Chain A
Amino acid sequence: MSETVRDGAPPPPRGRLRTVAARFARHRPAMAGLAALAALVLFAFAGPLLWTWDHTVSGEIPSSAPPGPEHPLGTTSAGNDVLGQLMRGMQQTLKVAFTVTVLATVVGSVWGAVAGYFRGWVDAVLMRAVDVLLIVPLLVVVAAVGGNVRGGTTWYGVALVIAAFAWTPISRVVRGVVLSLREQEFVEAARAAGASHARIVFRHLLPNAAGPIIVAATLLIAVAILVEAAMSFLGFGIQAPDVSLGLMVQHAKTAAFTRPWLFYPPGLAIVLIALVINFIGDGLRDALDPRQAMVRS
């Protein structure tokens, strides 16, 4: 493990947060990304409250209408409003992605921290388990497990299945950081003061590993979005009558040149969300973890 933490070993000095925030604010793509993400979240969650149509079929909606004043993004052949579908789809996709990220980050961080802190056989057992989970591609195992479940899958079920396999990279990152942190004086001091193992892991090690964890978690959001979309596209994720961005692409997959208003909105929405999150992740990496910066000055 080559990840080392250089600046933040002892409990973060006062003002570190401000330094990081200032460094992040100077990263223009990341700031633009943050603003765009806020707008997208607002669109997905507040939009449906304001817009006339939801994602379901309605008899009042004309079939296969191109974009017009009544339906700004057109309608499907079954009679759905595409704008309503897009809002709902983004909402479902974002809910899955954020749930996956929270669950996977918590599990992965604790797993990696315990392995790195105790070392020895605990480390060996925990990290071999990670090797086992990492051996099959994420999308494949998630599709195999998620699609195998008969009957409809809710967004929460999809999130649980993805999270169950997506936490392993985070555990590797955290283990690497903790391996170097545990050798430092402040951990020794805590141990000498009689702190329990749990206290050292949760109060001393994990907070000091926050930088790499936040960066890895941000990038995981984008991965989760792409995996969820791919799962729904294959028909193993969120099921009709509910919609997700992947499912919308699935329904419109041959419409790119015949009815483009069905094909482009969901696809571009996925690209936009993932792009924006990657920009934020990049900015966070530069701000929190300068040595890992992709762009060197």
Chain B
Amino acid sequence: MLVFVIRRLLVTVPVLLAASMFSFALIDVTGDPLADLLVQQPPPSQEVIQAERERLYLDRPAYERYWLWLTGIGGNGDIGLLQGEFGPSVQGPAFDVGAEVAARMGVTLRLVAAAVLLALGLAVATGVVSAMRQYSVVDHTLTFIGFLALAMPTFWLGALIKEAGVWANGQLGTTVFSTIGASAADTRGMDLWERIADAGGHLVLPTVALMLTGYAAWSRYQRTAMLEVLNSDYVRLAHAKGLRRRTVMRRHALRTALIPLTSVAAVTIAEILAGTVLIETVFQWRGMGTLLVEAVRTSDAYVLMGWLMLAGTLVVLANLAADLLYGVLDPRIRYE
């Protein structure tokens, strides 16, 4: 098992490396980090531009810069991914990308975890109900909701949910739903429980909006998988043996029907990451999603690179987790 994990991780290293070279070249070609500085009014002096160019290492050729970005050898100590430094930002020397990412990552992971858990739970439940009552009114309704969710633009639904929260607050005259930010503007003077309650309250509406991305795909896969299992011989045998219906469903059918879902779930994690960009924009969170938007807007090349690498690593880890879950769910799979 450990050998399998290590081997899988080693295989992904060259893929991540190739992805980093590709993205680096692409970002380098498409954007100029100095663009905002050059159009400033009044125009900055030549020395200022030159100093900024040196600070961002733009005076070096692209291949040298890539090597520098990766290893940090020959830099000023603020660059080198392998040394844990993301590189200088166009926001100025005081802007520490690593600290910013660390602060924002927790906020975003909180949102992603809540959305994934809620979506998985709902998808499994509705998928199983749909399959057990195939072609009933419930099944048709759930299938239609699934189709609708699949066609729903995350940002539009998010904006609708947010405005609904604002409207409800206005009707009730108090703030029932938090609609802006990941936590209250001022958390000083709150004890731990109050902080948790505050963060949880801010999590509710964005989670509902983000959840739909995963739910739409997963519930339909769960239904198909469950149908396949329910029509299989071994489930019929389990019934014939006289096992209780609930035992058959939980121990025999559901466990097998969860296997396809794990691989789909790992793939959809990537889409949920993309969804956080939209949802955080709508709800004005200071998370990784809005960091990406700001970095793109300012052509902040090193921040963008760091973001893409973190997202890529997360996707790789999600796939690995799915592979390991297969082993738990399906006793026929062994990792040598």
Complex contact B148–A136 (CB within 8 A): no
Chain A residues contacting B282 (CB-CB under 8 Å) are 253
Is B16 an interface residue when CB atoms closer than 8 A count as contact? yes
A230, A255, A275: the one contacting B278 at CB < 8 Å is A230
Q: Of A39-47, A141-149, A174-182, A195-203, which stretch is located at the interface?
A: A141-149
Interface residues of B in 17-67 (CB under 8 A from A): 18-19, 22-23, 26-27, 30-32, 35
> Chain A: interface secondary structure?
helix
Query: Hey, what's the 0/1 contact readout for A250-277 against B, CB within 8 Å counting as 1?
Result: 0001111100000100110011111100
B163 touches A257 (CB 8 A): yes
> How far is A253 from B18 in the complex, measured between Cα atoms in Å?
38
B19 touches A234 (CB 8 A): no
With the chains together, A131 CA to B16 CA distance in Å? 9
Q: Is the CB of A234 within 8 A of B153?
A: no
Q: State whether the Cβ of B308 lies closer than 8 Å to any Cβ in chain A.
A: yes
Known contacts A137-B270, A137-B274, A148-B299; A267 and B160 CB within 8 A of each other = yes
**Cα separation A272 to B227 with both chains bound (whole Å):** 28
Q: How far is the CB of A257 from chain B (nearest CB, A)?
A: 5
Interface residues on B, range: 35 or more
Cβ contact within 8 Å between B297 and A147: yes
Q: Is B27's CB under 8 angstroms from A148's CB?
A: yes
Residues of B within 8 A of A38 (CB): none
Which residue of chain B is the closest to A164 with respect to CB atoms? B26
B142 touches A (CB below 8 Å): no
A162 to B308, CA, bound (A): 17
Are the C-beta atoms of A136 and B151 separated by less than 8 Å?
A: no
In the complex, which of the residues B19, B27, B151, B163 contacts A144, with contact meaning CB atoms closer than 8 Å?
B27
Shortest CB-to-CB span from B308 to chain A, Å, is: 5
Please name all residues of chain A whose beta carbon is closer than 8 Å to the beta carbon of B22 when the two chains form the complex. 132-133
A155 on the B face (CB < 8 A): no
Residues in B with CB closer than 8 Å to A229 are: 153, 155-156
Determine the residue in chain B with the shortest Cβ distance to A245. B153
A-chain residues with CB within 8 Å of residue B312 when the two chains form the complex: 135-136
Which residues does chain A contribute within 8 Å of B224, judged by CB atoms?
Answer: 294, 296
Check A230/B153 contact, CB under 8 A, given A132-B15, A140-B274: yes
A137 contacts which of B31, B152, B231, B315 (Cβ < 8 Å)? B315
Question: B155 contacts A249, CB within 8 Å?
Answer: yes
In the complex, the chain A residue whose C-beta lies closest to that of B299 is A148
> With A138-B274, A144-B304, A257-B166 known to touch, is A275 a contact of B296 (CB < 8 Å)?
no
What separation, in Å, do the CA atoms of A173 and B322 have in the docked complex?
21
Q: Is the CB–CB distance between A141 and B220 below 8 Å?
A: no
Q: Which residues of A contact B281 (CB under 8 A)?
A: 233-234
Task: Report yes or no: A137 in contact with B311, Cβ–Cβ below 8 A.
Answer: yes
Q: Are B308 and A271 in contact (CB under 8 A)?
A: no
Contact (A135, B16) CB under 8 Å given A267-B153, A267-B160, A270-B153:
yes
Q: Are A267 and B316 in contact (CB under 8 A)?
A: no
Docked complex Cα distance between A254 and B159 (Å): 7
What residue of chain A has the Cβ atom nearest to residue B35's Cβ?
Answer: A150
Q: Which residues of the partner chain B approach A133 to less than 8 Å between Cβ atoms? A: 19, 22
Q: Which of A149, A274, A275 contacts B30 (CB 8 A)?
A: A149
Confirm or deny: B176 has a beta carbon within 8 angstroms of a beta carbon on chain A.
no
Q: Which residues of chain A come closer than 8 Å to B156, judged between CB atoms? A: 229, 233, 249, 266-267, 270-271
List the 10 closest A-B pairs by CB distance, nearest first: A148-B31, A274-B151, A139-B274, A256-B163, A267-B156, A147-B296, A275-B151, A137-B274, A148-B30, A137-B270
List 21 A-B pairs, Cβ < 8 Å: A132-B19, A133-B19, A135-B16, A136-B23, A139-B271, A139-B277, A143-B277, A143-B292, A143-B293, A144-B296, A144-B308, A145-B30, A229-B156, A234-B293, A256-B163, A271-B151, A271-B152, A274-B152, A275-B147, A278-B151, A296-B227
